[in-house]
Each structure stands twice: as C-alpha cells, then as structure tokens.
Structure 1
Amino acid sequence: MTSLSESVSGLEPNLTRAQRVRKVLQTALFPTRLDLLDESHRHAHHVEQTRGPHAGATETHFRLYIVSPVFEGMSRVARSRKVHELLEPELADGLHALALTLRTPAEEEAAA
C-alpha cells in the first residue's frame, strides 16, 4: 500500500525535499499556516553528513511551524507522530531532523 507522502511526492519526482514536504503536509493537514525553514547548513559538519548512507545529503534538517485544524483533540505527542508518519519516506531517505511547533487554530489565536 502506498502512503500519502509516497503517492504525493511520487507524482513530481523533480521537486526538492522542501517542496515535497510542503506538498505532503498541505495535502494531509490543510494548514492555515505552514512555515518550513531549512536549517541544514547549521548541521553541515555533523557525522551523519560526512559518513554513512546519506553522506553529502542536503535538506536534512527542517524547522516546521504548522497550524492545522487536524490537530484539534490531539495531544502534542500525537501531533508529532502524525507529522513523522506523513514524512516517513523522507525520513528513510536522508531527512534527519525535524524541529516542530504544531498548533490548532485556537491555540494560534490565543498565542497572538
């Protein structure tokens, strides 16, 4: 069975990882806000960047800020699991780290 992220990213193989991540998350989470920051340059000299199966990989570390109604009623752990499940193919193919801020629209409004 093909996952949502595999089917979405598989449609346009020429996309960058950031574009694929954004497309998967937009399709699955219907976010009212989706900020994606590539922080890979801050980790360029880490061991996993210089050795191993993904040595020299780019787009390996992302900071994501997502506001989505899909997160309503979900714990913080469940939200994180959801995002990791959606991005599993990317995580298996060199995406190394995600820094996540995951909010509902009500939480975002309260924080403003």
Structure 2
Amino acid sequence: MSGPLEQEMRQLLTAAFAPTSLDVVNDSATHRGHTGDDGSGESHFTILIESPQFAGVSRLQRQRLVNAALGDIPGNRVHAVAIKASAPGE
C-alpha cells in the first residue's frame, strides 16, 4: 500500500508528463536508521519514468524537469529521490 507522499508524487508526475510508464519505488525501509530517515516510512524514493516529453532532452534537464514537477517534495518533504527518466524506445 502506498503512502500519501508516494500517491502525491504519482499524481504530480502523471499530470506533468503523461508518462507511458511510471514506477515510484519507496526505498525508505532500506535506509531505516540512516541519515534522512525521519521515521515516516516515506523518506527515500526511486522514480522510474518514461515519457515522450523526454525525447531529445539531456539527462540533467530530465532530472530538473522531474524535480520541478515534484515541487517542494525533494529535499524538503522527502530526504532523497533517485530519478531514472527516459523517452520511449531508449
């Protein structure tokens, strides 16, 4: 079962990119007791997203676009977000 932050991230990314594939993986359990673990169970995530909007866009710019779509979540409400963004066919 996904938590409220995970659901919010899915909604924001779906609205921003109309992805052909989206997986938001909660990695928080593997970071339990480490720096950034706030005990919420929603402190570390990996985002795997595929969208036509990433075609012809550099890896760095893709990261920036995803972070911008997530607003204040990365670095404020979530300690760490790993992003793997691709265009279809990559």
TM-score, normalisation: structure 2: 0.87
| Alpha-carbon contact 2:48-2:83 (below 8 Å) kept | yes
| Alpha-carbon contact 1:25-1:86 (below 8 Å) kept | yes
Matched, 1:91 2:74: yes
Identity %: 35
Aligned match of 2:23: 35
> Over aligned residue pairs, what C-alpha RMSD do you find?
1.5
CA distance in 2, matches of 1:103, 1:48: 27
SS of equivalent residue, structure 2 residue 56: coil
Q: Which runs of 5+ in 2 are unaligned?
A: none
CA distance in 2, matches of 1:99, 1:92: 11
Match of 2:7 among 19, 27, 41: 19
Measured at CA, do residues 68 and 106 of structure 1 come closer, stay the same or move farther in structure 2, by a change above 3 Å?
A: same
| Alpha-carbon contact 2:49-2:84 (below 8 Å) kept | yes
Identify, as 1 or 2, the structure richer in strand.
2
Provide Cα deviations, 1:25-46, integer angstroms capped at 9, x if missing partner. 0000010000111000111111
CA distance in 1, matches of 2:83, 2:14: 15
Larger radius of gyration: 1
Matched, 1:48 2:39: no
Q: Which runs of 5+ in 1 are unaligned?
A: 1-14, 50-54, 108-112
TM-score, normalisation: structure 1: 0.71
Moved over 3 A (4+): none
SS of equivalent residue, structure 2 residue 7: helix
Shift of 1:48: 2.5
